[in-house]
Amino acid sequence: MQKTTTHKNELDAKVNVFLKKTALQNVYESFYEKMYEHCNEFGKTLEIGSASGKSKDSFKNIFLSDVVFSHHSDTVCDAHFLPFKNKNFSNIIAIDTFHHLENPLMFVKEASRILTNGGRMALIEPLVTPISQIVYKFFHDEDCSTNINPFQINAPDQKRNPLKDGNNGLPTAFFLKKKDSFHKKFPELKIVKFQRLSLFVYPLTGGYRNWCLMPSLLVKSLLKVENFLLPLLGRLMALRMLVVIEKRK
Q: pLDDT tens, 177-215?
A: 999 999 999 999 999 999 999 999 999 999 999 999 999
Q: For position 119, what pLDDT does the model report?
A: 98
Each residue of 78-112: pLDDT tens digit? 999 999 999 999 999 999 999 999 999 999 999 99
pTM of the model: 0.95
Strands 75-76, 62-66: pairing kind: parallel
Q: For position 124, what pLDDT does the model report?
A: 98
Q: For position 187, what pLDDT does the model report?
A: 97
Q: What sign has the CA pseudo-torsion 162, 164, 170, 174?
A: positive
- Within 8 A by CB and 6+ apart from 89, the residues are 43, 44, 45, 46, 63, 114, 115, 116, 119
CA distance 34 to 124: 9
CA distance 70 to 43: 24
Say which DSSP state 88 is in.
-
Q: For position 69, what pLDDT does the model report?
A: 86
Residue 230: which pLDDT band, with cuts at 50, 70 and 90?
very high
CB of 104 closer than 8 Å to CB of 82: no
**What whole-number percentage of the chain has pLDDT above 70?**
98
Strands 89-95, 45-48: pairing kind: parallel
CB-neighbour burial class of residue 200 (10 A; exposed 0-12, middle 13-18, buried 19+): middle
Each residue of 186-195: pLDDT tens digit? 999 999 999 9
Mean pLDDT, to the nearest integer, of 137-160? 91
Cβ count near 91 (within 10 Å): 26
Question: Is pLDDT above 90 for 51?
Answer: no
H-assigned helices in 58-142? 104-114, 130-138
